[in-house]
Amino acid sequence: MHFGWHEQRGAGAGTSRRRHAAQTPPVNRLQALIQALQPASRPDNQVSGLSGSGITERWIFATSAEPVLIVDAARRSIVEANLAAAELLGRPRSELIGQAFPRGLDRASAARVQDLLARLVVTPCDDPVTMRAFDGGRELAMTASLFSSADGSYYLVRLSSVGHQPATAADLPRAPTLSLIEEATVAVVLTDLMLKVEYANPAFSMLAGLSDEDSPRGRSLTRWLDLTADDLRCIQAQGAAREATLTIDTTLRAGNHTTRPVSACVVVVPDGELPCCAFLIDADPA
């Protein structure tokens, strides 16, 4: 199951991070992008479900202030963890992914969690269970639901600290938000309303096959993204109206003269009198 938020690894990822080190990311606009993608129907920035699993849904999952894990129901292992869950558990997301679930709990806590997961296979259950690490760590509350995807069944696990109020988007620190965008495998590109690139994360450089010296900043995104005249009119009209999102299925031209199908979610990011466009670009897994 692909959620698009695993930490990048390998030589290419390291090179991209060095290349972007000199770039000054527009943190305010990136934070505004996070806010722009939080639907009003989800108060307190909580995840209500991931059955759609589109680019926007994955973004909301990753940046939600509610700690959430995705657990493979058959293997009982964590396949995805958002930033808030990593913060709550005190572990990097890259370490959580692939870990057995539950793990590291005292015997009574492990039994309660296993019982809940087993019951969810038969019937939905909203009752929370509490759990504590075997080393006497803080007490956490957990609720879970079971959902199906094309490649299997998964648990959506919500976590919270016992006795603490649920977090909101304002509780997420700004620096980890930037780190999330820099490390995301979904390409994130900010442009002005004329599609001149203001910022691109390392994933875009990797997707577009850019060399270390070939920065996209200051150039038109249409150099890489195949956009029709109708696409451009829709994007610019969206910017003028300051509407939310537009999804485009198109192709991306890479630096090695190849093309690949991609989906691009275009978001108008409000920023005073000068809104910008954000493109979340995900390669078609097919």
Who wins on pLDDT, 272 or 21?
A: 272
d(CA 136, CA 133): 6
Task: Using pLDDT thresholds of 50, 70 and 90, give the confidence band for residue 243.
Answer: low
The confidence score (pLDDT) of residue 238 equals: 67
Sheet with 245-253, edge to edge strand ranges: 197-200, 187-191, 276-283, 259-269, 245-253
Which CATH number fits the domain 67-165, given the four candidates 3.30.450.20, 3.40.50.300, 3.30.70.100, 3.40.190.10? 3.30.450.20
Structure tokens at 241: 């109206």
Q: Calculate the alpha carbon distances from 134 to 107, 109, 112, 160, 163 in Å.
A: 8, 9, 14, 18, 20
The domain locations on the chain are: 10-34+174-283, 67-165
- What dihedral do alpha carbons 157, 160, 166, 168 form, nearest 10°? -70
Q: Calculate the alpha carbon distances from 158 to 88, 107, 198, 241 in Å.
A: 11, 20, 36, 36
Q: In this predicted model, what pLDDT tens digit does every residue of 51-101 receive, in sequence order?
A: 333 666 666 676 677 889 999 999 999 998 887 888 888 888 888 989 999
Residue 92 bridge partners (DSSP): none
In the DSSP assignment, the letter for residue 44 is: G
The confidence score (pLDDT) of residue 78 equals: 94
Task: Give the global pTM.
Answer: 0.57
Task: Using pLDDT thresholds of 50, 70 and 90, give the confidence band for residue 255.
Answer: confident
Please compute the mean of the pLDDT values over residues 183-195 and round it to a whole number. Answer: 82
Structure tokens at 268: 């108008």
Q: In this predicted model, what pLDDT tens digit does every residue of 10-41 receive, in sequence order?
A: 333 343 444 444 456 667 777 677 666 655 43
In the DSSP assignment, the letter for residue 101 is: S
Q: Over 70: is that where the pLDDT of 45 sits?
A: no
Min mean pLDDT across 167-171, 193-197, 200-204 is at 167-171
Question: Span 10-34+174-283: which CATH code?
Answer: 3.30.450.20
The confidence score (pLDDT) of residue 242 equals: 55
Percent of residues, the chain, with pLDDT higher than 90: 21
Using CA of residue 53, residue 46, residue 265, residue 26, what is the dihedral sign? negative
Rg (CA), the chain: 20
Structure tokens at 63: 């940046």
CATH topology agreement for domains 10-34+174-283 and 67-165: yes
Buried b / exposed e across 253-276, counting CB within 10 Å, b at 16+? Answer: beeeeeeeebbbbbbbbebeeebb
Structure tokens at 226: 């195949």
Q: What does pLDDT average to over the chain?
A: 75
Question: Which element (helix H / strand E) includes 184?
Answer: none
Quote the distance between the C-alpha of residue 284 and its chain's center. 16
